[in-house]
A = this chain, B = another copy of it.
């Protein structure tokens, strides 16, 4: 089963929008074990869109085309598909009614061109998901040559049971339809087990080669089995993701396989796994604090607000996060946090900041960073030096003071981002240790 992705829109060629849709679809296809050899971007030009679709059908079994389903004259995907398949566009009354209703329910008159979205190539099926006005289409491709029947595209021996999926370019609409219709339909067509499920273990603190080495034995076993599969996804300052994918005959079998594989992987790399699937470092830290009934305050110098910024991104963070002090100027470290005068890129200063912010803001735990983000060194310490401290008592009354120094590579922004997630991870590990 070979699947191609075609992204339609002149704005993509002009670079006004980065085509993240194709990349995301590529991930879903790979996770479902479907091969994809080409992805093409083409502008809003009917002849060129048709040529690209025809070629894609000539070398692949299925084409997912993204975009060009809106109501304007620029939205050509429906027309081009009908032309290519040699069928008429027909008005789908149910969709037309639905679009009319969306306008009247807002007290507005529907511009006539919105009915373009209800025109569907004859023989197509409408996808069940309809998050927006544009319907997604499943368009079976008739056997034999395409287009005007005069052999302008492809060969008569082209594969049978080919299909075009048309989905909108709006990412959340596209994703709902690809997950809800396209992938299940492709998997069914491929004649493989019908349930494909993935789970992502998010890790912090290992390099890709280090992780590959630790997991080498298991990867070798899985290469022979072929199911589950695991893949690494480098995600920059968000760490490395390990994605497990299983194919199974049913939902519960799939979940069971994922649970077993996760248990196996956690035996090998447990401590560096900080989250699963959609969780991230800040949601995990906020939850761990809440479960233990602990509150947190942060004092930031080198990270300058990034730690607070991430924690406040979590809805409900206010239950455990008191706030913070961005002590950027040394005088602020002294006057607001009570740090002794003298060098500030030291573990002692970090601990004084952490203790100061903990007391000032009335929190159980204080977290602090101070360091050198560059471009110049400071206090004789090189760019990339980051001292941190965690001060306070845990719920059991045990002292959890901890200090340390990181030496991080990269430019100013990278140093600030890396120290932010590194130090949140240190807090996560210490909280886990209190159990």
Binding site for B on A (CB under 8 A): 12-20, 22-28, 30, 36-43, 45, 48, 52, 55, 231, 233-234, 298, 300, 303-313, 315, 317-318, 321-329, 331-332, 335-336, 360-362, 373-375, 412-413, 416
Contact = CB atoms under 8 A, between A and B. Distances in A.
Contacts of A331: 322, 362
A233 to B, nearest CB: 6
B27 A38 contact: no
B30 A23 contact: no
A81 B25 CA distance: 29
A323 B313 contact: no
A231 B15 CA distance: 12
Contacts of A322: 328-329, 331-332
A23 B27 contact: no
Contacts of A413: 313
A304 B315 contact: no
B37 A40 contact: no
A325 B327 CA distance: 8
Contacts of A315: 374-375, 412
Contact of A38 (B40, B233, B311): B40
Nearest to A329: B322
Contact of A360 (B14, B40, B336): B336
Contacts of A326: 298, 305, 308, 312, 323-326
A197 to B, nearest CB: 18
14 contacts: A12-B23, A13-B36, A15-B26, A15-B27, A17-B23, A38-B40, A40-B40, A304-B309, A305-B305, A305-B308, A321-B329, A323-B336, A325-B325, A326-B326
Contacts of A39: 12-13, 40-41
A386 to B, nearest CB: 14
A434 B335 CA distance: 30
Nearest to A39: B41
A16 B309 contact: no
The 3 closest A-B pairs by CB, nearest first: A304-B312, A305-B308, A15-B27
A327 B332 contact: no
B42 A38 contact: yes
